[in-house]
Structure 1
Amino acid sequence: MKSERTYPVYRVNKHAEGLLVGGHPWVYENDILEAPGTTPENGTLVDVVSPKGAYLGTGFLSLKSKIRVRLISRNANDTFDTAFWRRRVEYAWAYRKTVLEPADLSACRFIFGEADQFPGLTVDRFNNVLVTQTLSVGMEKLKPVLFPLLAEVLRADGQTIDGIYERNDEALRAKEGLEQNKGWFTLPGESHPETTQTEICENGVYYHVDFENGQKTGFSLDQKYNRRAVARLAAGHTVLDCFTHTGSFALNAAKGGAARVTAADISAEAIAMAKRNAERNGLDNMDFLCEDTFALLPRLEKEGSPYDFIILDPPAFTKARRTVENAMRGYKEINYRAMKLLPRGGYLATASCSHFATEDLFIKMLRAAAKDAHRQLRQIEVKQQAPDHPILWGVPETNYLKFFLFQVI
């Protein structure tokens, strides 16, 4: 028997009903037909019903955002107390323990927003520290209940968690009416570590992680198994890793037995970090280049290139639908240049981390680049993000990473 509803009710149109029934958790402002007479408190829980009044779910209200409601449940019998959130955290951790190898649990994405039914929340684990990013007002208000549970659940499983660090220095928070900030979250009765740096190990490679100042939460964990695929092919090859950032692909290639690896990035800070990681791992088959990839590849084409394996893992060239066309031109330019640069029989690893650069668009771009470069692509492997960043069908925003391994012939 359904419990009696006490939450404010938002009635939505047929378009929103179709999306929600299909599994998407968002209700847009423009799809609301009827709102409560008295506006509820921002960030509170509300019910969503169909045009005919059928219950569709319960979610967090966001009065400042175009995404007006983010569903957290479609079960009318759910009670949203501490026990509910503990179960959901336990469920997320149990999933990671199932899909990841035990060695990977010390550096993984613990909570992946909507895919784990925590809309607007990211939680990454870096060894003894959890690093969070909160991008919805509902999750912001829930932190005093939820964040202690994150530590409790992991500790109950024998994991060492010394603190929770918030990386809320993200412009998207403004769309929720939230201010940017970063710093330690105070767990009741606990002190936090003195340092905002730690070390992780992924695929047997050690990385220094600055989770206060590093990109996003401090380190990109979504390519862990793609890096392993590169390491497996790298033995004996001369490798160029463009957009190296922390050096992750380059380090995996070097550890995999590459004859020589060049790690290149436009950022001097990134190159310094990659060098530090190489030294930590005792890798002496690497060199480093601070140069823009868009200038580097044409220069190497003119001067002659020693590389027979090129890795392209750029930052997202587009974060909005309106800039997709320009982004695809950028992707095509670097892929075309890499294909031209490689000897026939060489290898290309190429990726995009933009949700808006869809797989169809990315494949179309690769075909065009290969045609213009007068090359043919022999596909070795196609991969996506690691399974601790699960793709929830019905929620296309969770599907963002494309990764292709080719032999260029």
Structure 2
Amino acid sequence: MDHAPSQPGAGRENAVTETVRIKLKPGRDKALRQGHPWLFSGAVAGVSGPPSAPIAVVEDAAGRPIGSGFYSPRSQIRVRLLRHDDGPVDRRLFRTRLQRALALRRALVPPETTGYRLVNAEGDGLPGWTVDRYGDLLVSQITAAGLEALRDEAYAALDELLPGLDLVQKNRSRARRREGLPQADEQLRGEPREEALFRESGLAFSAELGGQKTGFYLDQRDNRRLAESLAGGRSVLDLFAHGGAFSLYALRGGAAAVTAVESSPRLIARGRADLERNPELPAARLSWVRANVFEDLRQRRERYDLVICDPPSLVEKRSDKNAGARAYKDLNRLALARVAGGGFLLTFSCSAAVDARLFRQILFAAATEARVHATLLRPLAAAADHPIAITHPQGEYLKGWLLHVPGPAD
């Protein structure tokens, strides 16, 4: 992990920022005027100005202004709009948007939770930027070239609102690679650490800072609470258990037994360590199985009252959507076959290429092939600290369903 040569926040409050001017092709301004934050490269007719400029001013084919936003000259998403007037993109704008984001979290996140999403990109009016808080540590991810160039102003505003917290910027991602941005993580404030301790709904967890996302799947908090509410007296199968967060919630909910299936020995070790951090939980009721989930389900014969299926993304590119949809269908067919009569299935997809409609079709096909009755009880989504702009459906990446399985098909 690299150390930044200077502290974030250096610079002037209202520094002058270079801009490029982008003119659109005729008829390509409608979505932007309706509030969609992304301008795709195919809509661009011409660009004038320095290619290194972090901000683009966008106008329609007739030269009428539309707005301004972060410029990404190498990305298919050429501009991520920030505002629809001619105002500046400066520290004051970052401060205002961050104040709104922080106020929302204060309203949504209970005091017994110290790990949560503080900034959710487009959902908080700050496209290309996510910030997660784990106790006294902030973990930032920047995936837009224009924002990377202005990050000192963004971090200065963040420090004004949340002073004294450690800060790391995680840079290893495909999105940054597409933007031509550096990949080495950076410790911007505080000393480097491998993990960050925090609490979620009163349970103690650790975020693995060198792991996936920012270290923990904060988006599943509300769904873990749902699993807890259903677990009482039931047998639970936790598939793709990762660090066992769903399993720990199930234990606290009074599960009779929990089987957690995970292929990574490192994550199993982390899950066991988190269990030790919660000595009030009945550790003897949790069994870990190191296995490939697909292979395990093909061999497993036991049935469970509650099955949780939270796989990693099975569709990395839109060109892989058909193959990924088949993988999701096979996975859910196998999972449904392991649900006992009268039991429940919580199943998810975090693949952006698989929208809610397609995921529901996948579940229909899976239930048909598994020859089980299944009823849809409740759609599931990311926790409320992951807001989605109503004009930005692409932000709705996590989708899921709670299903009830009365028994085998007639």
- TM-score, structure 2 normalization: 0.90
Q: Secondary structure of 1:103's partner?
A: coil
Provide the secondary structure at the position in 1 that maps to 2:162: helix
CA distance in 1, matches of 2:90, 2:291: 52
Aligned equivalent of 1:103: 112
In structure 2, the CA distance between the partners of 1:377 and 1:110, relative to structure 1 (3 Å rule), is: same
Structure 1 gaps, min length 5: 156-160, 187-191
Q: How many residues align?
A: 387
1:164 and 2:192 correspond: no
Aligned match of 2:183 in 159, 180, 183?
180
Cα deviation for residue 128 of structure 1 reads: 0.4
1:22 matched to 2:34: yes
1:88 alignment partner AA: R
SS in 2 for 1:324: helix
- Give 1:171 shift: 2.6
In the alignment, the residues of structure 2 paired with residue 392 and residue 7 of structure 1 have an alpha-carbon distance, to the nearest angstrom, of 26
Query: 1:84 corresponds to which residue?
Result: 93
Q: Does 1:52 align with 2:62?
A: yes
> What is aligned with 2:395?
398
Give 3-state SS (helix, strand or coil) of 2:218's partner.
coil
Is 2:275 the partner of 1:263? no
Contact 1:171 1:180 in 2 (8 A): no
Q: 1 CA distance for matches of 2:376 and 2:315?
A: 25
Paired position in structure 1 for 2:347? 350
- Separation in structure 2 between the aligned mates of residue 22 and residue 151 of structure 1, nearest angstrom: 33
Question: Which structure 2 residues correspond to residues 359-374 of structure 1 after superposition, within 5 A?
Answer: 359-374=356-371
Superposition pairs for residues 8-407 of structure 1, below 5 Å? 8-36=20-48, 39-76=49-86, 78-104=87-113, 106-155=114-163, 161-186=164-189, 192-193=190-191, 195-211=193-209, 213-282=210-279, 283=281, 284=283, 285-300=285-300, 304-407=301-404
Aligned residues of 2:316 and 2:351 also touching (Cα < 8 A): yes
Distance 1:268 1:6, change over 3 A: closer
Q: Conserved in 1, the CA contact under 8 Å of 2:91 and 2:156?
A: no
CA contact (8 A) 1:226 1:403 kept: no
Conserved in 1, the CA contact under 8 Å of 2:19 and 2:50? no
User: Shift of residue 375 of structure 1?
Assistant: 1.3
Q: What stretches of structure 1 move > 6 A for 4+ residues in a row? A: none
CA distance in 2, matches of 1:377, 1:102: 37
Change beyond 3 A, Cα 1:399–1:217: same
Contact 2:303–2:338 (CA under 8 A) maintained in structure 1: no
TM-score (norm 1): 0.90
Deviation of the 1:377 alpha carbon: 1.5
Distance 2:382 2:79 in 1: 27
Is 1:43–1:62's contact at 8 Å kept on the other side of the alignment? no
CA distance in structure 2 between the partners assigned to 1:123 and 1:229 by the alignment: 25
Aligned partner of 2:11 in structure 1 is none
Residue 408 of structure 1: how far off its partner (Å): 0.6
Q: Provide, for residues 75-106 of structure 1, a one-character-per-residue CA deviation record: whole Å limited to 9, x for no partner.
A: 22x233322221111111112222333433x2
* Superimposed CA distance per residue, residues 369-409 of structure 1 (whole angstroms, 9 cap, x where no aligned partner): 11122212133322211111111122122011112112112
Query: Structure 1's 206 and 6: CA in aligned 2 closer, same or farther, altered over 3 A?
Result: closer
Question: How far apart in 2 are the matches of 1:6 and 1:308?
Answer: 59
Query: What CA distance in whole angstroms lies between the structure 1 residues aligned with 2:387 and 2:102?
Result: 13
Cα distance in 2 between the residues matched to 1:165 and 1:241: 31
Compare relative contact order (CA 8 Å, sep 6+) and give the higher one, 1 or 2.
2
C-alpha contact (below 8 Å) 1:392/1:399 kept by paired residues: no
SS of match in other structure, 2:275: helix
Q: Distance in 2 between matches of 1:173 and 1:389?
A: 21
Cα distance in 1, alignment partners of residues 90 and 147 from structure 2: 14
Root mean square deviation, CA, Å: 1.8
SS in 1 for 2:185: strand
CA distance in 1, matches of 2:318, 2:253: 38
Question: Per-residue deviation at 1:306?
Answer: 4.6
Shift, 1:195, TM fit: 2.9
Return closer, same or farther for 1:7/1:140 CA change in 2, 3 Å cut-off. Answer: closer
